Structure formats: structure tokens, C-alpha cells
Amino acid sequence: MKYVVETKNLTKSFGKEQAVQSLDMKIAKGEIYGFLGPNGAGKTTTIRMLLGLMKPTSGSIQVFQQDLKKSRISILSKVGSLVENPSYYPHLTARENLEAWRKILGAPKSRITDVLAIVRLSDVANKKVKGFSLGMKQRLGIAAALLNNPELLILDEPTNGLDPSGIIEIRELIKQLPQSHGMTVLISSHLLSEIDQLATTVGVLTKGKLIFQDSIEAMRKLAKQNISLRVSDQDEAHRLLLAKGIQTDYQKDRLILSEFTDEEIANAIQFLVQKQIAIYRVEEEKRSLEDIFLQMTREDQVG
């Protein structure tokens, strides 16, 4: 597999603190990679290193299969980014602001009309930015990041501070980029709900470590249903089921049956009743992605 971004053992220390620890991040072409983690997990530090804005303490970064250290200029000419809030001239119009950025980047003039259309700001192109909502300003920042027609777009918490409708607008805008413009997107967020509806691949970062990196489907599979059983004699029930070849997960006050069919659950319960075990509760435990994410980040903090 050829990756657009591939880091190996990427590490960044600030004094004694390791803000990013041995990160092996892999982003394939055309993906929307959701980079998820609580505040302070190290997302911005990672992004700053990917953009050549901060030097790694150790490890390597390959972008477009080229070493970032060696081919920085040619790599960055094909990367667009929005890190923190965009800076703009409030008294200038959206078009005039983009014109200022375009000159710096050396992008063709026609590109301004294109990017305004992509971020759906064409109607207000000639309005002063000072009257824009936060969501519109954020979209203008994304338009600026798109000026050089990047192959890789990196957005650091682009929906921070936006209201729900602003979040939806940004999401709809980002969603279409891989298909319609052949881009690969890295988007960071501390909100799973946002990544869940957008990303094709998820990387979960906590305390500087990547604790999960896989497809969004793989993450959803973790949210599969479990059946929990509360019984009169849990030790005995666990032992009896095991002797019959039925594996259960023993928890403090209940037994968990994972990935059982309805028939298998019925058989297990019937068997326990025959063995004089009283069944108090049979409950379905459906974990949401939010639960999984919280559990992942919590487990790592304990360990």
C-alpha cells in the first residue's frame, strides 16, 4: 500500500514531556482520516510536524512517499492546511482576501472563483469579511487552503467553536473533496460524533500515543452488541457454561456473552435453568462509538 502520509516512530518532546510518542500514522490516498483525541493529546503537535512547522525530536515523516526533511518545498506545494483560526483582513471582501493569499502562493487567478464555489461562498464573495459568521470565516480559511489545489488537505479542528449548522456545512464541504477533487484529507477533532459522520479511517490519539488506527467500520464493529446475564450464582454459571464449551466474559456482577446468535443465547439460558441457576436479568448492552472512544482513552490513561 502506498501512503500519502506515513510516519515512523514520530516523537516530539518538550523538555521531559513527550507530547507525541512513536507515532506510526498511515494515511492512504483518497481517505478522510479522522484524527481523534481529547484536548492536549498531541494532535496539533503532530500536524505541525507534518507541515514542517515543528521539527520532530526523532522519527521520520514521509509525505507522497518522499522524506519531508529532504523534499520539504516540493511536498508542501501540494499540501493545503488550516491550523488554528485563519487570519484575514476584516475590511476586505472574501474575494480580496483570497487574492492576497493567491499572490503569496502564486496560484492562478481563476482559482479564486473555483475555491469560492467549493466552499459555497460565491454569493458573498464581494462582501466584507467582518460581517461573516464564524462558520463563513472558517469556510474562507478552507478556501485559502484549497487555493494551491492541494493533493493533501490538513485541517486542525476546523469546526471548533461552530454552531451545529456551521458544523454540518463544513462536514458536507469536506465530504465531497476526495471524490470530486481527488484529495486526501486529514481532519483532527476531539468530537467523535463529528469524525464518525465524516471519516473513512480513524486514528485515536491519547497522551501522545496512537491507540487505534483502522477503518471507521472496524471501529463500529467494536460497538457490537453484547448480552449481559445476571444470575443467582455467577461463579457456578460461569463454570457450567465453560464446561459446556461456552465462553463468557466474567465481570464484577455479570457474565457477558459476545457475538452470540439468538439461538445460542436461548440455549445457554435454558441450560443454566436446568442446572438450577436462577436468571435475574438478560440485557442487551449496545456500546456506542462514544463509549468505545471514552473507554479507549480512559484505559490508556490508567495504563
Ligand X SMILES: Nc1ncnc2c1ncn2[C@@H]1O[C@H](COP(=O)(O)OP(=O)(O)OP(=O)(O)O)[C@@H](O)[C@H]1O
Footprint on this chain of ligand X (rule: CB under 6 A): 14, 19, 37, 39-45, 190
Dihedral (C-alpha) 38, 40, 44, 48: value to the nearest 10 degrees?
-150
Which residues, at least 6 apart from 254, have a Cβ–Cβ distance to it below 8 Å?
A: 228, 229, 230, 234, 281
Considering the complex, what minimum distance in angstroms separates the CB of residue 13 from ligand X? 9
Nearer to ligand X by Cβ, of 209 and 287: the residue is 209
Nearer to ligand X by Cβ, of 19 and 153: the residue is 19
Considering the complex, what minimum distance in angstroms separates the CB of residue 155 from ligand X? 13
Nearer to ligand X by Cβ, of 270 and 301: the residue is 301
Considering the complex, what minimum distance in angstroms separates the CB of residue 245 from ligand X? 45
Counting other chains too, the contacts that 157-163 makes at CB distance below 8 Å and 24 or more residues apart are 157/43, 157/44, 157/188, 157/189, 157/190, 158/82, 158/187, 159/189, 159/191, 159/194, 161/134, 162/134, 162/135, 162/138, 163/134, 163/135
Considering the complex, what minimum distance in angstroms separates the CB of residue 188 from ligand X? 7
Nearer to ligand X by Cβ, of 7 and 228: the residue is 7
Nearer to ligand X by Cβ, of 53 and 117: the residue is 53
Considering the complex, what minimum distance in angstroms separates the CB of residue 207 from ligand X? 9
